[in-house]
Chains A and B, each alone.
Chain A
Amino acid sequence: MNKINENWLERNTFHHADFWDLIKLVEEKENKGLKISLCIPTLNEEKTIGKEVLILRSELMERYPLIDEFAVIDSGSKDKTLEVAKNYGADVYLASDILPEVGDKRGKGENLWKAIHQLKGDIICYVDADISNIHPRFVYGLVAPLIHRDEISYVKAFYDRPLNYSSGLRPSGGGRVTEILIRPLFSLFFPELSHIIQPLSGEYAARREVLEKIPFPIGYGVETSHLLDLYAMHGLETFAQTDLDRRVHRNQTTNALGKMSFGILQTFFNRLHAQGKLDRMPDLETFYRRFEVEEGKYHQLVQEVIEEERPPMIDIEGYRNRMASS
């Protein structure tokens, strides 16, 4: 791993506890004249949306005025998602009502994209609706690096997904799709991006000026495309990531993860094709990059994985001789 990258991990990786002083954060936000919008994309989330709106609005709009606008953008829920969200004070929109002239497509990315048009903030923070242990850190942990550091324009969340507590040293990573699809792909094609600990996390905050310049896949590929497109435009320095500790959410079936992977692969190969990497394949990287965390510090582990190959047995003289003599 080169020095610049190693330094990036240290400089641009935060923990939400770094930003505990919300009074100071609000002061700096006001000094810089920034407006922040919070957007929760929803589809049938009545079980968790009430708690998210209640806690985030009460803590981050009323107690500490960090958020200026709080919107729930819905894809046409059949349950009471909108009623519950409205009851606790969120501005509620149907994605289909925003920019009707461009039509209505069904998917989380559509809601995120239309939020750029509907919301007024200089910074937009996106938080998924299915977090059952919601806490204000899910928002202030993401917007704080953007408030403090002008050169950062996109902040991703990562979480504690403990796999092994007993040894004190534990691998740290994303979910199953991250570990078996995204990380190997990034290691092969975009090694620098493998510094993002959880590239698929659904919580991130970004400046309007970068969001308005990138396309949004409406389905599963939206998080991957953001990383690939912004990396191509601004390099690794535009990103930061914040450890938000534990996130409790629904577990997905393997079938659902397969569908998700299929969507992500489409997005990924479209980018490879657009960047000419598919037609003129570069030499593939042989270093596989993953993370481990020790005493609260994240380290990237780089492991050389060379998939050596043997020729067909029929090409081996010894084999042919044995077969001829038998």
Chain B
Amino acid sequence: MLCKNLLHSLNQWLMEIQEIDRETALSGLLDQIPERIKKISEKRDSFLTDTVLLGEIPSPTYGEDERIRAVVDRFRENGLSAPNIDEFGNASAHLPGTEGQSSILVMAHADSVFSREVRHEIQVGSGHMSGPGIADNALGLAAMIALPRLLDDLGIRLRDDLILVANSRSLGRANLEGASGFLETMSLPARAGICVEGSTLGRLSYSGLGTLRGEITLQVPSDYDWKRFGASGAISHVTGLINQIREIPIPKEPKTQLVFGGLRCGSSFNTSPKQGTLRFEITSEDDDIIGQMEDQLNEICEQFSAETGTLVSMEVVAKRQNCSIPFTHPLVKTTRSIMQEAGITPKVDPSTGDLNALILSGLPAVTLGLTTVENLREINETVQLDPLYAGMTQLVSLIQAIDQGICDS
């Protein structure tokens, strides 16, 4: 009994020492932040250039090849180990650590919501840059690529290997295919992961929100009886369908949301369209609620189809489970401390992006945003440069904190 108590006390003592070590290491790291913001602002040209050069290569989801090749070229030029494009279309490379016992994964998605037909031209002003997809996610991609040179410029040698990944097939229908594929085949054990997004400074995501994205297609069949009571074209029917969907009760707790994100129907002034497509997304903190709402949507589609003589089908294009690491996890706590020291106000924002894939794979991970952004996902998407240097500093400092074991649970 005495021996057990002694062991318990020894263990507690060791944990306290470990905690003190961690706090001392973190404090040392936080002290360097103001100086780092200045240094990073002086070294900005390289990552601003990559933001422009990569941002001007169109990279719609499933069409990222050219941008991914440019990323691999940069990995090579920066002297990284094992630059590679995998079977999922992701580009990855390693910066070997001094010990290499473990690794830190930094990921930025390479795809954009803008199609190839959009003119991908980035404009550069004194204090801002703008153009389609610059914030989401040319800037995140360029920041990830810049890390080895920035670490070197700041005199930081990591013990862990740094694994850099530009992941393809993240957005929309792709359902995180690239990130999930990479994690499935990743050989090195990772200590933690960071997803990098251009938007928005202060973003702190440590949970992935349960999500279902779907597309409902309504077709007026060729043998449709236009004389029947209530007969109409696809637009009226889709409107009726939307009204029925809006009758589905949406709970406030657990937090749940249904968003209609797109509607395509018709092409002229005077012809009733025969087909309409409705895109929607359900997000909820409870996976069961998502499941129940999916069932309800299927029932509505079926009933609507039978009652109106139209053909209604629903396709689920992406589905993600809820996942999270605790708010008190050292990775989250450390990120908050770094943000505060860098003058960034943390804003907790559950992710529906690549973070889900990382956390579901068992990796403690967060998503960070790099700067303030205007007109997100518009042609004139604009990123401000002044806040960017604090955003880059938080990223570099968090990597160093992970490397020093400050973020281990």
A-side residues, CB < 8 A to B, are: 46-48, 50-51, 54-55, 57-59, 62-63, 80, 83-84, 87-89, 132-133, 135, 248
C-alpha spacing A172/B125, complex, angstroms: 34
Closest to A63 in B: B46
A85 to chain B, nearest CB (A): 10
Closest to B121 in A: A132
A59 lies within 8 A of B49 (CB): yes
C-alpha spacing A83/B127, complex, angstroms: 11
Interface of A is mostly: helix
How many interface residues does chain B have, given as a range? 10 to 19
A54 lies within 8 A of B48 (CB): yes
A50 lies within 8 A of B124 (CB): yes
C-alpha spacing A80/B124, complex, angstroms: 12
Given contacts A54-B49, A58-B49, contact A63 B125 (CB under 8 A): no
16 extra A-B contacts, CB within 8 A, seeds A54-B45, A133-B56: A47-B123, A50-B126, A51-B52, A51-B122, A55-B52, A57-B45, A58-B45, A62-B46, A63-B46, A63-B77, A80-B126, A83-B126, A84-B124, A84-B126, A87-B126, A88-B45
Closest to A55 in B: B49
A91 to chain B, nearest CB (A): 15
Tell me whether B53 is interfacial, beta carbon within 8 Å: yes
Closest to A50 in B: B124
- Give 9 nearest A-B pairs by CB, closest first: A50-B124, A58-B45, A51-B124, A58-B49, A87-B126, A84-B126, A55-B49, A58-B46, A132-B121
Complex interface: chain B residues within 8 A of A248 (CB): 121
Cross-chain pairs A/B with CB under 8 angstroms, 26 sampled? A46-B125, A47-B123, A48-B123, A50-B123, A50-B124, A50-B125, A50-B126, A51-B122, A51-B123, A54-B45, A55-B49, A55-B53, A57-B45, A58-B45, A58-B48, A58-B49, A59-B49, A63-B77, A83-B126, A84-B124, A88-B45, A88-B124, A89-B45, A133-B56, A133-B121, A248-B121
B70 to chain A, nearest CB (A): 11
Given contacts A51-B52, A135-B53, A248-B121, contact A62 B45 (CB under 8 A): yes
Complex interface: chain B residues within 8 A of A80 (CB): 126
Complex interface: chain B residues within 8 A of A48 (CB): 123
B27-70 vs A, Cβ < 8 Å mask (1 yes, 0 no): 00000000000000000011011001100100000000000000
Complex interface: chain A residues within 8 A of B56 (CB): 133
B79 to chain A, nearest CB (A): 12
A244 to chain B, nearest CB (A): 15
C-alpha spacing A94/B124, complex, angstroms: 22
Which of B48, B123, B126: most chain A Cβ within 10 A? B126
C-alpha spacing A55/B126, complex, angstroms: 14
B69 to chain A, nearest CB (A): 13
C-alpha spacing A248/B122, complex, angstroms: 13
Closest to B43 in A: A62
Complex interface: chain A residues within 8 A of B126 (CB): 50, 80, 83-84, 87
Complex interface: chain A residues within 8 A of B46 (CB): 58, 62-63
Complex interface: chain B residues within 8 A of A83 (CB): 126
Tell me which residues from 114 to 128 in chain B have a Cβ below 8 Å from any Cβ of chain A: 121-126
A317 to chain B, nearest CB (A): 65
C-alpha spacing A58/B43, complex, angstroms: 10
C-alpha spacing A89/B52, complex, angstroms: 17
Complex interface: chain B residues within 8 A of A55 (CB): 49, 52-53
C-alpha spacing A84/B122, complex, angstroms: 15
C-alpha spacing A135/B56, complex, angstroms: 10
C-alpha spacing A69/B126, complex, angstroms: 21
A298 to chain B, nearest CB (A): 25
Closest to B77 in A: A63
B125 lies within 8 A of A84 (CB): yes
C-alpha spacing A204/B123, complex, angstroms: 24
Complex interface: chain A residues within 8 A of B49 (CB): 54-55, 58-59
Complex interface: chain B residues within 8 A of A88 (CB): 45, 124
Complex interface: chain A residues within 8 A of B48 (CB): 54, 58
Closest to A248 in B: B121
C-alpha spacing A216/B198, complex, angstroms: 47
C-alpha spacing A236/B123, complex, angstroms: 39
Closest to B47 in A: A58
B58-102 vs A, Cβ < 8 Å mask (1 yes, 0 no): 000000000000000000010000000000000000000000000
B76 to chain A, nearest CB (A): 11
C-alpha spacing A48/B124, complex, angstroms: 7
Complex interface: chain B residues within 8 A of A135 (CB): 53
C-alpha spacing A48/B77, complex, angstroms: 27
C-alpha spacing A132/B56, complex, angstroms: 11
Complex interface: chain A residues within 8 A of B125 (CB): 46, 50, 84
Closest to B120 in A: A133
C-alpha spacing A55/B123, complex, angstroms: 12
C-alpha spacing A51/B121, complex, angstroms: 11
Complex interface: chain B residues within 8 A of A51 (CB): 52, 122-124
Closest to B127 in A: A87
A140 to chain B, nearest CB (A): 14
Complex interface: chain A residues within 8 A of B52 (CB): 51, 54-55
A246 to chain B, nearest CB (A): 11
B289 to chain A, nearest CB (A): 48
Complex interface: chain B residues within 8 A of A58 (CB): 45-46, 48-49
C-alpha spacing A132/B130, complex, angstroms: 13
Complex interface: chain B residues within 8 A of A132 (CB): 121
Closest to A59 in B: B49
C-alpha spacing A51/B52, complex, angstroms: 8
B147 to chain A, nearest CB (A): 16
C-alpha spacing A83/B125, complex, angstroms: 10
B149 to chain A, nearest CB (A): 9
Closest to B385 in A: A87
C-alpha spacing A48/B131, complex, angstroms: 13
